[in-house]
């Protein structure tokens, strides 16, 4: 890791410490941990670019890789002022946290010492990291940086959500957005998203099984081999799929998700 990245890590830590000086800082500490996991994933993706198949390899230069790592570090910096003001991480009940992260990173001057292109690419990725879909006109380098952050972010959100799907942690309801735990039910629209190759929308989720299907639809969007490899090695997707109901009507979606996981495994092992 470069000395400059250490400066950024220190800057991020100092920035978050002020917000954590409150009695109920546990959710903020989890956001700090999430940030460093996303940062580590982003670095692993950048380090593994040589293993990408040539068909989807963007010729990432040093500036683009640096922008991706810094964007991963600052992608959720708006979560801290969001929680301070609204006491929630629910964007629908407060503000779009990616927009707030963009404004915070810009106004705090987190990237002030960086080359203009690094700064622009990193801020763009911070702003777009939670979009349901990315704009079609993004330049290749901006898409690359944004995709690194989105892949890395998904990987860690996946870990967090799966831990809540399988246990009774106190924050379970908040993480799963208060959906209903009806073991045999799911929303047909979300199963249709699986079959149509779409990412499911949070606003369509009604049951815990919908969450499982949503996590499955994220496989539609994963771009990098390092992410697929980490997902396959974690065993978390198998776990999620095994918890879905074995109902005849859900069978096509379940078969599709298993096929997508097999494809992830093949990509991770370089069998294309």
Q: By the criterion CB under 5 A, which residues form the site for Fe ion?
A: 76, 130
CB atoms closer than 10 angstroms to residue 57: 14
Distance CA(177)–CA(231), nearest Å, equals: 23
130 or 263, CB closer to Fe ion? Answer: 130
Tell me which residue of 130, 60, 83 sits closest to 102, measured CA to CA.
130
- Listed as own residue / partner, the contacts of 10-17 with beta carbons closer than 8 Å and 24 or more positions apart are 11/110, 12/73, 12/74, 12/77, 12/110, 15/77, 15/80, 15/108, 15/110, 16/80
Whose CB is nearest to Fe ion? 76
In whole angstroms, how close is the CB of 154 to Fe ion at the nearest point?
10
In whole angstroms, how close is the CB of 86 to Fe ion at the nearest point?
15
In whole angstroms, how close is the CB of 129 to Fe ion at the nearest point?
6
85 or 255, CB closer to Fe ion? Answer: 85
128 or 261, CB closer to Fe ion? Answer: 128
Distance CA(62)–CA(48), nearest Å, equals: 14
163 or 242, CB closer to Fe ion? Answer: 163
Distance CA(46)–CA(6), nearest Å, equals: 17
In whole angstroms, how close is the CB of 130 to Fe ion at the nearest point?
5
130 or 234, CB closer to Fe ion? Answer: 130
In whole angstroms, how close is the CB of 76 to Fe ion at the nearest point?
4
């Amino acid at each position: 890791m470069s000395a400059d990245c250490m400066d950024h890590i220190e800057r991020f830590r100092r920035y978050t410490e002020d917000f954590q000086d409150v009695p109920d800082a546990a959710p903020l500490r989890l956001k700090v941990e999430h940030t460093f996991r996303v940062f580590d994933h982003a670095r692993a993706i950048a380090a593994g670019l040589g293993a990408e198949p040539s068909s989807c390899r963007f010729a990432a230069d040093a500036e683009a890789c640096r922008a991706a790592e810094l964007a991963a570090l600052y992608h959720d910096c708006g979560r801290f002022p969001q929680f301070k003001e609204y006491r929630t991480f629910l964007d629908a009940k407060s503000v779009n946290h990616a927009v707030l992260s963009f404004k915070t990173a810009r106004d705090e001057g987190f990237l002030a010492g960086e080359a203009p292109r690094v700064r622009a690419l990193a801020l763009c990725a911070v702003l777009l990291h939670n979009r349901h879909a990315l704009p079609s006109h993004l330049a290749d380098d901006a898409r690359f940086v944004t995709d690194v952050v989105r892949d890395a972010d998904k990987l860690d959100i996946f870990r967090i959500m799966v831990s809540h799907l399988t246990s009774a942690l106190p924050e379970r309801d908040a993480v799963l957005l208060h959906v209903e735990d009806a073991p045999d039910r799911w929303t047909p629209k979300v199963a249709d998203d699986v079959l149509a190759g779409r990412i499911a929308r949070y606003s369509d989720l009604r049951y815990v099984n919908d969450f499982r299907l949503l996590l499955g639809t994220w496989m539609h969007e994963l771009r990098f081999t390092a992410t697929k490899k980490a997902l396959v090695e974690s065993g978390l997707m198998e776990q999620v799929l095994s918890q879905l109901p074995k109902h005849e009507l859900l069978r096509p979606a379940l078969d599709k998700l298993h096929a997508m996981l097999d494809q992830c495994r093949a990509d991770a092992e370089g069998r294309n």
